[in-house]
Amino acid sequence: MDNRKLSETISRITRESREKFKREPWPSPVSEEWRRTSLAKYDLSGFVLQNYQNREEITSRKEELLSTDFDIHIIKASGKAADIRIKGDLDHKVTVFNPLSLEVGGIEIPDSAAILVTDAALRADNRTSYLALSSLDDSLFIIIPDSIILSKPILVEFEASPEGDLFLPNLFVNAGKGAEIKIIQKIKAPGGANVSGFLQVNCDSNSNVHLATVTEIENDSVLFLNRNFDLSEKAVLSDFQSYTGGTLVKSRTEVNLAGDKGEARLYGTVLSDENSHIDVMTVQHHIEKGCFSQAEIKSIVRDRGRSIYQGLIEVEEAASLTDAYLTNNNIVLNDGARADSIPSLKIRNNNVKCSHGSTTGKIDEDQIIYLTSRGLEREDAKDLILEGFLSRVYNQLSEPVSSYCSPIILDKLKQAEAVY
């Protein structure tokens, strides 16, 4: 693709997104999706349009890997050049770039890059997503050609500024026909950070994509995250998301099964403690026939934390033979904590199998008694029960992704003494 045309597409979409951000108010509890998350409680003064034109740094490219555990390792800090490390034999097969590098040329960009940005703009529907797309200076693109199989994961680390500046960590991924990839997206934010990100993943026919989004958000930070997946015929997706900390985290994940016989499995873990408010929504949108989807989200809430899960299965008229379900399980560790679960269905075709369910409760005292009778201390017994509660999700993930992601919440559970 002509890089100039891609630059023009990006400029148009960022300009339109900025204008929509100016016109659109912040989401309010009038909307069902936001009914349990009132933004009036939070300081959003840092979420304003900014001028990034003075940035001079562009994408760097190095072949030596930071770790042999990954085929590609990318670190993108707010306002700084991307540090891209690519395994040598993949350097001319996989396209990784930051839009700022288009200005200096030298990179041949596939047409799918413009499609990714255009699709993201079509999915954006509220002020948080318009803000995320108002600048792509801190964005990254990963384009995987047809039939490429990566044996090890791609690790993408986004790091917000410690000064509390606005950070827009957008990630655009295209998996070509028959491609097989694993990607871990990590978002790190110090105290007081303001983060609004967009994830757009296009899965071409017969592709197999494993993607995980994990966060390390400190107290007093706010994170808005819009995640969108578009699946073509016989594409297979395994998605995982994990949230801990932050004064407010609002995440929305939508999977559009737009090709026959696509499969999507959505998993997630949440740890809400202290005064953190974590609101996660998933949408399993069945557009074409014969597709399968499931969602399984598990939350642990303690202290004065609150978790909210909203799950929607939506089936269009043409999506006969849909097989879809979702489950949400919550453990509340003390009386000051709260977990809300809102599963729902919108079915426009009678020839489907769809179901949902949720549970919320405390740790079973009988389990604690059993484990302590076998020699464990009470606190160790509780930790073991919580690990077992989360392990069902982690066991569904591919091994490299699971081994990287699972310690994030488990370690935090052990770092502080919980109030039960």
The first and second tokens of residue 13, run together, are: 């979409």
Q: Is residue 374 part of a domain?
A: no
Tens digits of residue pLDDT in 179-223: 999 999 999 999 889 999 999 999 999 999 999 999 998 888 999
Q: How confident is the model at residue 419 (pLDDT cuts 50, 70, 90)?
A: very low
The mean per-residue pLDDT over the stretch 218-246 comes to 95
Mean pLDDT of the chain: 91
Q: Can you tell me which residue has the tokens 């948080």? A: 128
Q: Give the SS3 label for residue 382.
A: helix
Q: Is residue 413 part of a domain?
A: no
Tens digits of residue pLDDT in 348-405: 999 999 999 999 999 988 999 988 888 888 888 888 999 999 998 999 998 888 989 8
- Residue 417 is predicted with a pLDDT of 47
Nearest to 111, CA basis, from 174, 40, 58, 38: 174
Nearest to 224, CA basis, from 244, 197, 188, 184: 197
Question: Which of 16-30, 131-145, 390-404 shows the lowest mean pLDDT across its residues?
Answer: 390-404
Tens digits of residue pLDDT in 240-278: 999 998 999 999 999 999 999 999 999 999 999 988 999
Strand partners, 86: 72
Angle at 259 between CA 131 and CA 202, to 5 degrees: 35
Nearest to 255, CA basis, from 277, 270, 240, 271: 240
Q: Is residue 415 part of a domain?
A: no
What total number of domains does the chain contain? 1
Nearest to 140, CA basis, from 183, 182, 106, 176: 183
Q: How confident is the model at residue 420 (pLDDT cuts 50, 70, 90)?
A: very low
Nearest to 193, CA basis, from 151, 157, 149, 162: 162
Q: Can you tell me which residue has the tokens 């995640």? A: 227
Q: How far apart are CA 43 and CA 187, in angstroms?
A: 21
The first and second tokens of residue 397, run together, are: 């993930």
Q: Is residue 170 part of a domain?
A: yes
Q: Can you tell me which residue has the tokens 């934010």? A: 189
Q: How far apart are CA 373 and CA 358, in angstroms?
A: 30
Q: Is residue 375 part of a domain?
A: no
Q: Is the pLDDT of residue 410 over 90?
A: no
- Residue 4 is predicted with a pLDDT of 81
Q: Is residue 377 part of a domain?
A: no
Residue 120 and residue 133 in contact, taking contact as beta carbons nearer than 8 Å:
yes
| 295 Cβ contact partners less than 8 Å away, ≥ 6 residues apart | 265, 266, 267, 268, 282, 284, 311, 325, 326, 327
Q: Name the percent of the chain lying above pLDDT 90.
A: 71
Strand partners, 322: 352
Q: Give the SS3 label for residue 263.
A: strand
| 191 Cβ contact partners less than 8 Å away, ≥ 6 residues apart | 218, 219, 220, 221
- Residue 238 is predicted with a pLDDT of 97
Question: Which of 50-54, 115-119, 346-350 shows the lowest mean pLDDT across its residues?
Answer: 50-54
Q: Is the pLDDT of residue 87 over 90?
A: no
Q: Is residue 318 part of a domain?
A: yes
Domain residue limits at 67: 3-362
- Residue 62 is predicted with a pLDDT of 57
Q: Is residue 25 part of a domain?
A: yes
The first and second tokens of residue 122, run together, are: 């079509």
Which amino acid, one-letter code, is at 271?
L
